[in-house]
Amino acid sequence: MKTISGLVSLFSRGFIIAIFCSCSTNESYVGAYQAKNDNVGSYTSDIERSFRSYEGPARNPVIVIHGFLGSKLKNSDNDNNVWGLFTGSDVFDGYTDEYLRDLSYPMAYGRELKDIKDYVVPYEFMSDAEIRIVGITIDQSAYREMLDVLISMGFVTENMLVQEKKKLPSLFTFYYDWRRTNVENVRQLHEFIFKKRAFLQKRYEEEYGIKDFDVQFNIIAHSMGGMITRYYLMYGNKPLASEPVPSWEGCKYVERVIIVGTPNLGFLNTCFELTEGLQVAPGMPIIPPAIIGTWASIYQMIPFACTNSVVYSDDPSGKSVNLYDPEAWKNLKWGLADPAQDQYLQVLLPDVKTPEARRKIALDHLEKCLKEAENFAKALQIESEMPGKTALFLFLGDSVNTRKKASVDRLTGKLETIVYDGGDGIALSTSARMDTVQPEYWKPFVSSCVRWHTVVHLNADHMGITDSHGFEDNVPYYLMITPVKGDIERIRYLKKILGNSQKYMKNFQTFNKEQVLSHTSQ
């Protein structure tokens, strides 16, 4: 049984009260306004059923993008597992030196991050419901649940075509090496979109005789995948610039984006992980800070400067720590700048014989990662009007105490959380909304550089958002029923060249322009 709890919103001097409730009892009242019924569940309308059965160019295919740690990695040279298949020996014996070398992102003095390569490749979504190791559970079900929701809506992957008796795939998964910089993975996403676009254009021509159809995609992106998607919308596959100017190149190929639990202003846990290490699950050994510190992507999720997330413990009301300043990391002995991490640098750099030489390489890598992260944060915060054809929907969790501010001891570099706020346990709700309103300068509205079409707050944690009824019930509506501006031209074009009598058009009505504009002008 699904229930929607009451919501009371108090606003400014007046009160705006919205109450939503659904109940189930054994009593039944006559009259629509007091009717109560036991038969509360999930029911599908005729419109939804017709949409689910539809196959053809009128419905955009969907690309699902995972977040940080969200794909399985392997060494393509020897096929060894790098991430995603954990064993009992990892628990009892700890990680081997060979494993830590594979798991780290390679470091090379004087070379740009984008030019440094290794043999590690992504090969699969972390979509297993659970990975169990001698009683330890690693929950990665968010991606399986996300895919299940889409499959229930009638979207199919290429390997489901025979089973579902369909001719065209409409569901694609984009997995990437989450250790690398987000902009590198943006370029991979661009290539992926063009590859699938060319494939579908060919299939549409074969099936329907439509040549060079303007294939558009919808995207559902979780966590860090949302940051990758937003950069792609704003800049396409262009590299980072010191003075970024959004071209909105990616919007040419994307109409709807559903962002799920994305820390759009970064999140504080990253600082703790970079200084104390990462524990995948309780009972698992800790991945050392030196290993995590090689991952370029994690720096791009440290709290953005505008959040003032870390202060000095001896001056908590003073200026916040500049998390992009390599000198601050050296002074505080954080991550790769911590001399105590040399024992792991020896593992990562076995051919470099002295601590001084290893430290030089590590600090060079740290500086490059921080500079890239600063430019990435700057690029995402540029205020610019997004083309009206693309709509952004945000799903976020706000029911878990989430780290908001930490203090750091100048002498020891030790971090301590001093303020918590609402979020999903990883991303604050303000970070997800990219809301820069500060309590000391309170304003009555969200202050965000992102023009969200819709924002949905859910009673869920970071990996539980996709398992919530609110996600399961609303995503089909926003993907299948809510029109955006691009739908007008596409449906009219298809009706013009294919005709209303064609079987692959019969489920679609011509959208009223005013109806679509009312949805997209919110």
Burial of 17 (0-12, 13-18, 19+ CB in 10 A): exposed
Burial of 504 (0-12, 13-18, 19+ CB in 10 A): middle
Are the CB atoms for 346 and 358 separated by under 8 Å? yes
Strands (E), 238-309: 254-260, 278-279, 286-287
378 phi-psi bin (left φ>0, alpha ψ -120 to 50, beta other): alpha
The one-letter amino acid code at 448 reads S
Instruction: Return the percentage of the chain with pLDDT > 90, whole number.
Output: 63
Q: Strand pairing of 391-397 and 454-458? A: parallel
Classify residue 48: in a domain, yes or no. Answer: no
Average pLDDT, the chain: 85
Classify residue 497: in a domain, yes or no. Answer: yes
Q: Which two tokens stand for residue 445?
A: 């509205």
Residues 503, 504, 507, 508: is their CA dihedral positive or negative?
negative
Are residues 70 and 12 part of one domain? Answer: no
Are residues 83 and 5 part of one domain? Answer: no
Are residues 124 and 33 part of one domain? Answer: no
Q: Which domain holds residue 491?
A: 483-522
Burial of 127 (0-12, 13-18, 19+ CB in 10 A): buried
Are residues 362 and 219 part of one domain? Answer: yes
Classify residue 53: in a domain, yes or no. Answer: no
> Directed axis angle between helix 513-520 and helix 485-498, to 10°?
150
Looking at residue 134, its pLDDT comes to 53
Are residues 28 and 90 part of one domain? Answer: no
**Mind listing the pLDDT tens digit for each residue in 332-359?**
999 999 999 999 999 999 999 999 999 9
Are residues 272 and 177 part of one domain? Answer: yes
Are residues 463 and 496 part of one domain? Answer: no
Classify residue 159: in a domain, yes or no. Answer: yes
**Mind listing the pLDDT tens digit for each residue in 256-270?**
999 999 999 999 999
Are residues 335 and 430 part of one domain? Answer: yes
Nearest to 502 by CA among 257, 207, 263: 207
Are residues 449 and 309 part of one domain? Answer: yes
**Mean per-residue pLDDT for 301-317?**
96
Classify residue 337: in a domain, yes or no. Answer: yes
**Mind listing the pLDDT tens digit for each residue in 194-212?**
999 999 999 999 998 899 9
Q: Which of 93-102, 188-197, 295-304, 372-381 has the lowest mean pLDDT?
A: 93-102
Looking at residue 22, its pLDDT comes to 38
> In angstroms, rounded to a whole number, what is the distance separating the alpha carbons of residues 13 and 88?
59
Quote the number of domains for the chain.
3
**Mind listing the pLDDT tens digit for each residue in 431-484?**
999 998 776 666 677 888 999 999 999 999 999 999 999 999 899 889 888 888
Looking at residue 280, its pLDDT comes to 83
Are residues 439 and 394 part of one domain? Answer: yes
Q: Strand pairing of 14-18 and 7-11? A: antiparallel
**Mean per-residue pLDDT for 117-133?**
75
| Cβ neighbours for 101, distance < 8 A, ≥ 6 positions apart | 347, 348
**Mind listing the pLDDT tens digit for each residue in 387-423?**
988 999 999 999 999 999 999 999 999 999 999 999 9
Classify residue 210: in a domain, yes or no. Answer: yes
Q: Which residues of 56-93 are buried (b: 16+ CB within 10 A; e: fewer)?
A: bbbbbbbbbbbbbbbbbbbbeeeeeebbbebeeebbee
Classify residue 478: in a domain, yes or no. Answer: yes
Is the per-residue pLDDT at 52 higher than 90?
no
Are residues 395 and 281 part of one domain? Answer: yes
Residue 122 vs residues 75, 89, 99, 129, 187: alpha-carbon distances, Å: 9, 23, 16, 19, 15
Classify residue 54: in a domain, yes or no. Answer: no
Looking at residue 423, its pLDDT comes to 97
Are residues 141 and 82 part of one domain? Answer: yes
Around Cβ 325, how many Cβ atoms within 10 Å?
A: 13
Q: Which two tokens stand for residue 435?
A: 């809301």
